[in-house]
Structure 1
Amino acid sequence: MYYNLFYMMEDNGDLNPEDPIQLFCLHFVFLCRINLSLAQFCDAWNKHPMESEHSLSPEQLWITGTAQFHGEITCLQESAESFGVDLDGPLSLETDCEPDCVEVPCVTNPLQQGDYLELKATVDPTKPCEDFGYTYYMNTLSFVNSKIANAL
């Protein structure tokens, strides 16, 4: 959903990933929307019934497992801390980002504190909308550009 939206915004000329103002607006609107979507997905996933587990959900299985191993929790915690660590294996020399990872650039707020508070009061990016936040982005971009123009 967001992938296609962002590419559409780029194709329409509404989003330039090199423009720090547009990146700020993108982050302002979509970070909370994406995080909310992820939280909703995780909640639904953790509560969905699994046929292979007699229609218990992952959440129910976790609670059942925790209750069954109540006396062995300290042992589980100790093994969890070292889970996946191979002390005899080779050390990773790669410090940069792996080929499949995404580096998110730092985004600075171009607004004065009062203007930023006004933006937060004016645009609520978490409110539902039919265009997945596109209008909120455009309103935010217009607001920020007008505040920057007035400051000059």
Structure 2
Amino acid sequence: MCVFLQAATNNKATTMTKAFMTGTQCYGVPSRVRSDHGLENTGVGAFMIAHRGPRRGSFITGRSVHNQRIERMWRDLFASATNVFHGLFSHLEESGQLDLTNPVHMWCLHHVFVPRVQRALDIFREGWNCHRLSSERGRTPTQLYIEGMMRQAGQGHRGIDDMVFRAPEEDIQDHTEYGIDDEVEVAPREDMITNVSNVDCPLNEQDFTRLTQTLNIESDHQGVDCFLACVEFCNSV
């Protein structure tokens, strides 16, 4: 079950936590979260430990290659949605139309394509949650989620019981059932840190208003014409 997919222009912990919370608003706070050692996950880890408690596997860290399900989902996501943008951005860069070191280019890229990427993610998430699983007798992830909620309520599962009534305290000894437990390490490992910085808007408020009024970022040309027009506008003011 994919509870959220959020396109963002940075990988800050606050951004990731905000996206995570949108998922909890729809599906509740899970009993446990499994994550890699990335810096962007520290906020989610702190929330889970504060909300669910320490020393019970509330936030389990480990390399994503040990999680075959998420690796399979990333492959499907790339094949079904994000590979189009990967190829498009690579073409823009190779043709000299996109300079990754130019902050104006990067801001225009975000301005034009983040909404498009988000729409692609939303479509993928809806399709993923509604696709039939041969291993589950044709039931969809959404059906399995609802069925599990109904069947497991009152059985001591924190993530489920909290949506119905207060769950009893539990002490799970075997965290390996949920993945690799690295002693609930919330602090990121230095070798896993990748910093994606925000790019400031190069326009003042008046010019930004003019841009939004004159540029339709919803064109039918995969957004390339919008990107080039946005760059031209920013360089002209």
Residue pair 2:130, 2:141 contacting (<8 A) in 1 also: yes
The one-character-per-residue Cα deviations of 1:25-61 (angstroms, maximum 9, x if unpaired) are 0111111211221111111111111122121111111
Distance 1:70 1:92, change over 3 A: closer
Higher RCO, 1 vs 2 (CA within 8 Å, ≥6 residues apart): 1
Residue pair 2:219, 2:226 contacting (<8 A) in 1 also: no
Distance 1:92 1:66, change over 3 A: closer
Q: CA deviation at 1:105?
A: 2.6
Name the TM-score, length of structure 2 as normaliser. Answer: 0.51
Partner of 1:45: 128
Distance in 2, matches of 1:68 and 1:92, equals: 32
Residue pair 1:29, 1:133 contacting (<8 A) in 2 also: yes
Distance in 1, matches of 2:224 and 2:191, equals: 30
Partner of 1:150: none
Structure 1 counterpart SS, 2:139 = coil
Q: For 1:2-151, what aligned pairs fall within 5 Å after superposition?
A: 2-72=85-155, 75-77=157-159, 86=181, 89=183, 95-96=189-190, 98=192, 102-125=194-217, 127=218, 129=220, 131-147=221-237
**Which is further off, 12-21 or 112-121?**
112-121
The one-character-per-residue Cα deviations of 1:2-47 (angstroms, maximum 9, x if unpaired) are 1111111011111000001101101111112112211111111111
- Structure 1 gaps of 5+ residues are 148-152
- The amino acid across from 1:11 in the alignment is E
Q: CA deviation at 1:84?
A: 5.2
The one-character-per-residue Cα deviations of 1:72-124 (angstroms, maximum 9, x if unpaired) are 3x632377xx865747x4958853352xx753232000101111122223334
Residue pair 1:97, 1:103 contacting (<8 A) in 2 also: no
- Structure 2 gaps of 5+ residues are 1-83, 160-168
Q: CA deviation at 1:137?
A: 0.6
**What percent identity do the matched residue pairs reach?**
28
How many matched pairs? 139
Distance 1:128 1:45, change over 3 A: farther
Q: Which has the larger radius of gyration?
A: 1
- The amino acid across from 1:109 in the alignment is C
